[in-house]
Structure formats: C-alpha cells, structure tokens
Amino acid sequence: MFSGFLWLISFGCNQSKAKLKEEDSFYLKNGLMDRLSIPLIKPYKLIKTSDTEWRLELQTTKLFALSIHNVQGVDIVKNKILIYSKGGTEVNNTQYNELWFIIDPASLQEQVFPSVKAFKEALNEANINNINLRKPDVFYNEPHSEKR
C-alpha cells in the first residue's frame, strides 16, 4: 500500500513537470523552422526574417497590421514590450519610416506612437523610466532571465 502511495505521488510530480514544460515551451524555443526567434512575453516573439530584419507578429487587428517590420530596438520593462521600428512599417494603412510601440501582453493592448515625444509621454504616464532599447541581435544574445 505504501509503495502504491509513493507511485501516485511520483506520477503526479511527473505530470506536473510535464505540464510546466508545456506551459513554458514558448520561452524555450530559440528558432522557428530555419529562423531565429526571441520569445519576449507570451504570446509575443521576435522573428528574424532575413539577415537584416527582425519582425514582431501582432496579436490583434487594432493597428490594421499583421506585424511590426524592421524592429531596431526592443526592451521589456514592467511586463510591457517596448519596440522601436525604423525602415518601414505600415500601421493603420499608412507607411511610416519610424514608429515606437508599447505592448501589454496581459491585455493584448498594442499601442503605436509616430514620434519619440509621444512615446516618452506614454512611458511617463505608465510610470516607466530607464528603458534600454537594444538591437534584436544584442537582445538575442543576452541571458533570458534579464529579458523578462
């Protein structure tokens, strides 16, 4: 009877570990097929689409865009993803050379700012200071624990 009890505990622990791995597998993936990817905060990740371009797939259609192209800067602060795009991204059916984004993965809120001034004002309102927008290649090479 005692060995049966131990088996049940062992089985339950193994099931919990398997479930935890499934839930965390998003963060363990470093590549999508033959492309590099950077898991940010679930469900958002950066994907390297060419030698020089990283993209972030959006989760809503609010901005009338599928993804943020030409990501040049990324940071995660207070569970928000901060993105700087330069080189062409279309939002709300308009092409922009530069854009800044604040993404709240918890609510899937995706905000876009056409100027650094508007971006900084939104950061101040959200009480976010000390940001460090790094190139995705630099961000990719940092330890995961520092990113989240």
Same-domain check for residues 66 and 10: no
Same-domain check for residues 38 and 15: no
Confidence at residue 50, expressed as pLDDT on a 0 to 100 scale:
87
Confidence at residue 26, expressed as pLDDT on a 0 to 100 scale:
56
Same-domain check for residues 140 and 128: yes
Same-domain check for residues 86 and 135: yes
Tally of domains within the chain: 2
Note the pTM of the prediction, 2 decimals: 0.76
Same-domain check for residues 81 and 108: yes
Confidence at residue 37, expressed as pLDDT on a 0 to 100 scale:
82
Same-domain check for residues 10 and 56: no
Q: Please list the pLDDT of the chain residue by residue as tens digits (148 residues).
A: 545 444 444 555 444 444 444 455 555 555 555 668 888 888 998 888 888 899 998 988 888 888 899 999 999 999 999 999 998 888 888 889 999 999 999 999 999 999 999 999 999 999 998 899 999 988 877 775 444 4
Q: Which two tokens stand for residue 140?
A: 């990719």
Residue 77 zone, left/alpha/beta (φ > 0; ψ -120 to 50; rest) = beta
Confidence at residue 147, expressed as pLDDT on a 0 to 100 scale:
44
What is the number of residues in the chain? 148
User: In the chain, which residue ranges form alpha helices assigned H by DSSP?
Assistant: 2-28, 116-125, 136-141, 144-147
Same-domain check for residues 41 and 102: yes
Same-domain check for residues 74 and 106: yes
Same-domain check for residues 64 and 22: no
Same-domain check for residues 93 and 111: yes
Torsion of CA 60, 75, 138, 49, to 10 degrees: 10
Q: Which structural domain, as residue segments, surrounds residue 18? A: 1-29
Same-domain check for residues 52 and 105: yes
